[in-house]
């Protein structure tokens, strides 16, 4: 193949554009050293939950019922994930809670957002238990589940 000056310049431009595009791609995909000490936010699996109340009549007794729930009540993460829960207190004055097996405790109060963060170190199913609304006779059970996959 014979290249005259014009064709050669064209090839040089094509090669330069490819080099620039390649280095841009490389730089934008590299992790870099500028990660803040707490890790980047997109490394955290974040869930927005709501403490909600359901009301209605029991279908058999006709008794008025008030039941509290975590919504959503089922979360799935992977082992090793850093997990953040932002829990909105929509209904009910107070929901002191614990996440069994995670060493997490907190309280959700009406009109506020409670944030807890933890690392899912073990695989398994872990309960988010409201200590006030434990069973049907206490306007519960207000129990959610976190499934940690291997
Ligand atoms: Cu509760």
Q: What is the pLDDT of residue 6?
A: 72
Q: 71 CA to middle of ligand 1, Å?
A: 12
Q: What is the pLDDT of residues 90-134, one digit of tens each?
A: 999 999 999 999 999 999 999 999 999 999 999 999 999 999 999
Q: 132 CA to middle of ligand 1, Å?
A: 5
- Domain carrying residue 17: 1-30
Q: 31 CA to middle of ligand 1, Å?
A: 41
Q: 93 CA to middle of ligand 1, Å?
A: 8
Counted domains in the chain: 2
Q: What is the pLDDT of residues 129-138, one digit of tens each?
A: 999 999 999 9
Average pLDDT value for the chain? 86
Same structural domain for residues 106 and 68?
Answer: yes
Same structural domain for residues 126 and 63?
Answer: yes
* Beta-strand runs (E) in 58-142: 64-71, 74-78, 82-89, 94-99, 104-109, 113-119, 124-130
Q: 72 CA to middle of ligand 1, Å?
A: 14
Same structural domain for residues 17 and 47?
Answer: no
d(CA 137, CA 118): 31
Please give the structure tokens belonging to residue 9: 């310049």
Q: 44 CA to middle of ligand 1, Å?
A: 25
Stronger pLDDT, 30 or 41, i.e. the higher one: 41
């Amino acid at each position: 193949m014979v290249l005259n000056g014009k064709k050669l310049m064209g090839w040089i431009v094509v090669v330069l554009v490819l080099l620039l595009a390649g280095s841009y791609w490389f730089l934008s995909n590299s992790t870099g050293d500028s990660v803040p000490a707490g890790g980047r936010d997109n490394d955290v699996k974040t869930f927005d939950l709501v403490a909600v109340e359901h009301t209605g009549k029991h279908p058999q007794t006709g008794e008025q019922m008030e039941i509290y729930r975590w919504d959503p009540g089922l979360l799935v993460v992977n082992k090793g994930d850093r997990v953040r829960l932002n829990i909105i207190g929509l209904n009910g004055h107070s929901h002191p809670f614990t996440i069994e097996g995670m060493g997490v405790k907190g309280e959700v109060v009406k009109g506020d957002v409670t944030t807890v963060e933890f690392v899912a170190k073990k695989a398994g199913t872990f309960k988010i238990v409201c200590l006030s609304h434990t069973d049907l006779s206490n306007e519960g059970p207000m129990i959610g589940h976190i499934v940690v996959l291997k």
